[in-house]
Structure 1
Amino acid sequence: MSVAAVSLVVGLAGVGCASAPPEIELRERAALCLHRGMRFPGNPAVRAQSMEAAAEVLDGDAAGLIAEGLRDEHAGVRFAACMALGRIQDHGSTDAIRNLVGDPDASVRVAAFYALERLGEFSYRQAWADALQNAPDAGVRRNAAMTLGLLGNPKVAPLLKRSVAEDNDDGVRLQAVEALALLGDPDAQARFVRDAFGGIGYRQPFALLALGRVRDEESISVLQTRMVNAPYLEAKLAAARGLAMHGRLDGFDLAMQSLTWAAPDASLPDDPPENQIMRVRSMAAMTLGDMRDRRALPALYRCMEMSDDPRIQVAAARSILRLLGPAEPRAPASAAPGSTPHQSGAAPM
């Protein structure tokens, strides 16, 4: 463990505390973890993840730090910053976001279109649609489908259906199907029910998480079945998180146990053990946050303080703040530019 890692553990929590500190202190520590994550120099994925989390649980309190990401050298961070600022509708960042409609990275441009539309500017829809239909990079088309779906506007359904029917990339089609499912399209929702049982690779957990956002009784029944019978832990946790999105605690025990999971398959050639552990523990933490059950606070606190992977720390901090709910108005904790979550050899984004 690096010196930076030791400093974060001691500075935030002391060493090895069994129970969470008082609520005010716990909130400040979790917020500080996200603040530091947004300036973390070792891995752009941590900066992006922290901005996404901050937009969800810190709202406008973190707008200034998120806006720093608009100038980040890494396109993935600029993308995340645009998405986060659009989510919280930070009008103070409008000019800076508008500058990114000419960003050299096409996905960043798409995120800027999304943010600006959330801020009341609707003049980029044609360029957005063109990115969905004609961008040579499938990743850009996936992001265009995802961001269009997030608008919640049924008028984009014909564009998304065209991508489902015509795009030659499976990831683009899948992202468009998810967007349609969130818009209430019954065919798209039925597709995810099928994938929840027969999806291969990433398709099954993707489908289970999508069903968490689909508000009907069939989705709950499917998620309950897959949480018990899915063939591997990540799919079971995806089902548990989907159920949590429906306000259910069915997977509470599974998520609590998975916070300390340490049984990766070392034989997988393209999936390092540390990444397997990161995914499982992060999913467990996110699931507990979505359940809104404060019994999880001590375990999430330990996860945030004792993990040697900043991605897990950020997931735990996000969930702590979800469980604590909105704070009374007060000055937010600030992070010095050199303050960072501890480094751990996390894979680059």
Structure 2
Amino acid sequence: MKLRYTWLLALGTLASCQYLPLQRSGTTTTEPANNKFGDITLQQIYTLQDERNTTDLLPYLSNPNSAYRQHAAMAFASVQDTAALQALLQTLQDSVANVRGASAYALGQLGHRQAEADILEQLQQEQTPEVQAQLLEALGKVGTGRAAEFLASYKAPNPDALAGQAWGIYRLGMRQQHTPQVVQKAIELLTPATLYEARLAAAHFLARTPRLDLTQHRQQVLNTATSDKAPEVRMAAAQALAKVRALDKATFLSNIAQSDPDYRVRLSAVRSMSGLEFSEISKAIVAALQDQNVNTAIATSEFLVVNNAGVPVQMLQDVLPNLLDARVRSNVIWVILKNSQPQNRVYLNPRFKQQYQNARSAYDKAHLLKALSGDVNNYEFIAEQVFLAEEPVIATTGMDALILMRQQPDFPKRLEPAFADIFKHAVASGDVALVGMAAAAIRDPKLNLRSQYSNFAFLTQAQEKLQLPRDMETNIELQKTIDYLSGKQETVIPQNPFTHPIDWQLVKTIHPNQQVLVRTEKGSITMQLFVEDAPGSVANFVELTQQGFFNDLYFHRVVPNFVAQGGDKRGDGWGSSDYSIRSEFTPLHYYEGYVGMASAGKDTESNQWFITHSPAPHLDGRYTIFAKVIDGMDVVHRLEVGDKIVSVEVLNLQPVVTSSAR
């Protein structure tokens, strides 16, 4: 797996993730280290970045040492303080390409429209391919109509610039700043002769940009979905086919779902079937439910939950005995209950409740509890299990099931007060997950729950019991709900207090190519840490690993063709530490096998992390990348919710002699 492009001078290898060799400086103080952080000045720059200290960081942008100017500019990609905007616009014209590239990336991260004109001007004179690429992508993050016109008509002079142009187009799409000309350019980039990264970015633009109608481009998108040599491009094109209106749409999507050799493409085709008559896709759906890859089966069962109208119960009952995975079975059971006649639910409910009682693992029980929410008459049973559960994942999944019940279009009005009481009980429970989930449900405007609560002191009382920064995610949910019920604009949530500074003594012991071994029930995964890109995140991960923190935890979240996520002591996704670390953003892209820090927003990371199944460019610059899988991706693709992390071990590597000022 290759990077899109190194952001400067193509130095080093992917393994090292060193963007530039540091320049010699007679005033530099160094310490023994396995990596570049033997340089005390670099430590100071990264510490100021970690502290979000704009005032003391700004002078480094004019430091005589270009390496320090570069790292200071890159620091603002994480700090994201608009007070640095003018200084970064000046360093965009620095005499050293590395500094210009870092400045371009940081300006893109700031996302301020004022940078558009300067970026366009710099593009007219920039000659370094890697910097051109950074400028073009940054333009997509800040630009408006001028940027769209420029990116649609730009003639890339080299492969780096072409990739940057394509990613710039993608970023425009995410901000809905595109034009018909931009869409046409993306279509042109799909041609087989185009650079892989440009095809990938263009396909993701078409797949992820909201409200596109790609009907007139049906053939080009279909050709890419069926013929592109890269599965990562095919899967995005298959996703884009959802935006095509065609009489034979069910036919060509069914063919892809049953024939592509890569499971990620197959499940993307299934997801694109939304809105089609079930009778047209039933054969492909039944086949996908029994796909040899469990991720395809899971995604298909989830598709049925969302698109349950017209799905025949007998067909699902016939296929149910062939479904061995608990998550797949549970989703199918949900649809069976949802679509069954009331008289049939009378005997189905006791049968499925018994399966819940007999389930051996907490995760299997959780799946089955959610399955029971297919019949609203099971709400009292589910609520009872939520508040009696000893395993957090059962309570959390049960609450999710109750919320799903309440969101159904045919939810009985007579039960509205009962569900309002359940949500109030959940907020009063003190469990961070139940509190956060119920608070989010209460403010859902589609549920119209404001009238159910004459007094919402129970929300402020729950908020007062939280421990920050550990419970920041729940605090955010509660505050949003308090504001909603009060009829106020959303309160600006204060930033997490600064805790857990970077342990530089630990950082200096970490090899630039340091590897860790993650042993799971499905096999082993070897990851390479990116200490020189994300020293705070890597040091935190190594520290937790050395403490044995991750041993015997579970992968609590697996989203097919997206991520496998673990590192949570609770096992339900709501577990955090009593401290937080800061986000660290660099010009890396989330490709297959990249490892990122989970968060509830910028600067809220602690102990949860995830591995990507496939490219996820919508995460770029928003979630810290701190590692990459270098062996065991086959294991990652087999991971399921509830698979145990047996152990995580920092592997011994021979230290290398590096100079901090080469």
- TM-score (norm: length of structure 1): 0.50
Partner in structure 1 of residue 128 of structure 2: none
Instruction: Tell me, in whole angstroms, the C-alpha distance in 2 between the residues paired with 1:241 and 1:172.
Output: 29
CA displacement 1:107-140 (0-9 Å, x = unmatched): 6335434534633345564342133234443323
Residue pairs, 1:4-153, within 5 angstroms: 4-6=74-76, 13-14=82-83, 28=113, 35-36=140-141, 51=170, 54-55=173-174, 58=176, 60-61=178-179, 64=182, 67=186, 70=190, 73-74=196-197, 77-84=201-208, 87-90=211-214, 97-101=221-225, 102-106=227-231, 108-116=233-241, 118-123=243-248, 125-149=250-274, 151=275, 153=277
Cα distance in 2, alignment partners of residues 144 and 174 from structure 1: 14
Aligned to 2:621: 310
Q: What amino acid sits opposite 1:73 in the alignment?
A: Y
- Quote the residue 1:281 is aligned against: 601
Asked if structure 2 preserves the Cα contact closer than 8 Å seen for 1:152 and 1:183, the reply is no
Aligned 8 A contact 1:227 1:240 in 2: no
Structure 2 counterpart of 1:142, which letter?
L
The 5 A counterparts of 1:172-321 are 172-185=296-309, 187-188=334-335, 194=370, 204=397, 211=404, 214-217=408-411, 221=419, 224=423, 228=427, 233=433, 236=436, 240=440, 244=444, 246=446, 251-253=477-479, 260=495, 266=544, 267-268=549-550, 278-281=598-601, 310-311=621-622
- The whole-number CA distance in structure 2 between the counterparts of 1:63 and 1:245 is 37
| Kept after mapping to 1: 8 A contact 2:207/2:237 | yes
8 Å contact from structure 1 (residues 113, 124) kept in 2: no
- Provide the C-alpha distance between the structure 1 equivalents of 2:282 and 2:258, rounded to a whole number of angstroms: 12
Mapped partners of 2:402, 2:207: distance in 1 = 20
SS class of match (2:196): coil
Distance 2:449 2:234 in 1: 39
Deviations 1:79-107 (A, max 9, x none): 42231358411567656535523211346
Q: Distance in 2 between matches of 1:53 and 1:208?
A: 36
1:330 is matched with none
Higher RCO (CA 8 Å, separation ≥ 6 residues): 1
Matched to 2:601, the amino acid is R
What is the alpha-carbon distance in structure 1 between the residues aligned to residue 402 and residue 114 of structure 2?
Answer: 29
Q: CA distance change for structure 1 residues 159 and 277 in 2, over 3 Å: closer, same or farther?
A: same
How far 1:170 sits from its partner (Å)? 3.6
In 2, distance between residues paired with 1:210 and 1:141?
30
Q: From the superposition, tell whether residues 7 and 157 of structure 1 become closer, same or farther in structure 2 (CA, over 3 Å).
A: closer
C-alpha distance in 2 between matches for 1:247 and 1:53: 33
Identity %: 13
Structure with bigger gyration radius: 2
Shift of 1:154: 3.8
- Give 2:303's aligned amino acid: A
SS in 2 for 1:14: helix
Aligned residue type for 1:4: M
Amino acid at match of 2:479: D
Gaps of 5+ in 1: 17-25, 285-308, 313-343
Q: Say whether the 8 Å CA contact 2:141–2:171 is kept in structure 1.
A: no
Q: For 2:253, give the aligned amino acid.
A: W
Superposed displacement of residue 162, structure 1: 0.9
Tell me the distance in 2 between the aligned counterparts of 1:230 and 1:184. Answer: 35
Cα distance in 2, alignment partners of residues 143 and 129 from structure 1 = 11
Richer in strand (by share): 2
Closer, same or farther in 2 for the Cα pair 1:96/1:103, shift >3 Å?
same
RMSD between aligned residues: 6.0
Which of the pair is proportionally richer in helix?
1
Q: What is the total number of aligned residue pairs between the two structures?
A: 274
Partner of 1:279, secondary structure, is coil
What whole-Å deviation, never above 9, does each CA across 1:234-266 have from its counterpart, x for those lacking one?
994698379647466994526879885689994
**TM-score, length-normalised on structure 2?**
0.30
